Amino acid sequence: MIPTAYPTREEIARLSARMLLEIGAVNFNTDTPYILASGLPSPSYIDCRKLISYPRIRATLMDFMTVTVMRNAGFEAFDNIAGGETAGIPFSALVAERMALPMTYVRKKPKGYGRNARIEGVMSEGQRVLLVEDMTTDGGSKLSFVDAIRETGASCGHTAVIFYYDIFPETTKRLGDHGVELHYLCTWWDVLAEAKAQEAFDPATLDEVENFLRDPRAWQETNKPG
């Protein structure tokens, strides 16, 4: 069912950050930094996959995502909702249900047998597809999913995520150059503000995380392993 309440963007960001903190999806550790998929260190890590286990929070965030996309892109802007394997699949299904649209998902690579498809479900030429994911850092992983969608003859000019890092300036340009607009609920800056308001972590940790967010490349260079 399509939500009928429309909170402000600022309130959506604040509440989304609060929910992520409440379920322990936000992790800060400045003494022993996390190692990202890139091999670089980070004092912050977020796990949006945990959201699927919290029905009230999950439902609220999917309402937020639905109204954010409709407000930004249009109420009749899409014909199909696609999730990226694997984290985007449950969220795309929930958004598709709210928007009363078909749901599909995109494999990271062809499955290697049968039809050798990357698109599962029914996606038709000419359909306008919204790509739904849990989060994005620099936007790079989204481009492969978008290309797979476009190879079917469908169009994909929008992607929606729960969480956007918003600390790498090249992200929106990279997506924009590919003809994709990014929609999101909250960022590290929203989480940091809510963590400070709640005193969820000690002040020294929050200060160090803020140092990282303001200049992540310099922080990573200083703290890289070895």
| Residue 2 per-residue DSSP state | -
In this structure, how many other beta carbons lie within 10 angstroms of the beta carbon of residue 79? 16
Long-range contacts of 171-179 (CB under 8 A, 24+ apart): 171/136, 171/137, 171/138, 171/139, 172/139, 174/138, 174/139, 174/140, 174/143, 175/139, 175/142, 175/143, 178/143, 178/146
Q: What is the mean pLDDT of residues 87-91?
A: 97
Strand-strand pairing, 181-187 and 128-136: unpaired
Q: What is the mean pLDDT of residues 124-129?
A: 97
Q: Summarize pLDDT for 172-188 with one digit per residue, the tens.
A: 999 999 999 999 999 99
Q: State the pLDDT at residue 39.
A: 80
pTM of the model: 0.93
Q: State the pLDDT at residue 3.
A: 65
Q: Which CATH number fits domain 9-221: 3.90.1150.10, 3.50.50.60, 3.40.50.2020, 1.10.3720.10?
A: 3.40.50.2020
CA angle 83, 86, 90 (to 5 degrees): 55
Q: State the pLDDT at residue 4.
A: 65
Q: Residue 183: CB partners within 8 Å, gap ≥ 6? A: 65, 68, 69, 72, 73, 158, 159, 160, 161
- For tokens 């959201």, name the residue: 51
Q: State the pLDDT at residue 16.
A: 98
pLDDT tier at 224 (50, 70, 90 boundaries)?
A: confident
Q: Which residue has the higher pLDDT, 116 or 81?
A: 81
Residue 2: CA count within 13 A, CB half-sphere: 11
Q: State the pLDDT at residue 143.
A: 94
pLDDT tier at 5 (50, 70, 90 boundaries)?
A: low
Lowest mean pLDDT among 33-42, 96-105, 149-158, 199-208: 33-42
The whole-angstrom separation of Cα 108 and Cα 146 is 11
Residue boundaries of the structural domains of the chain: 9-221
Q: State the pLDDT at residue 169.
A: 86
Q: What is the mean pLDDT of residues 142-163?
A: 96
pLDDT tier at 115 (50, 70, 90 boundaries)?
A: low
Strand-strand pairing, 26-28 and 44-46: antiparallel
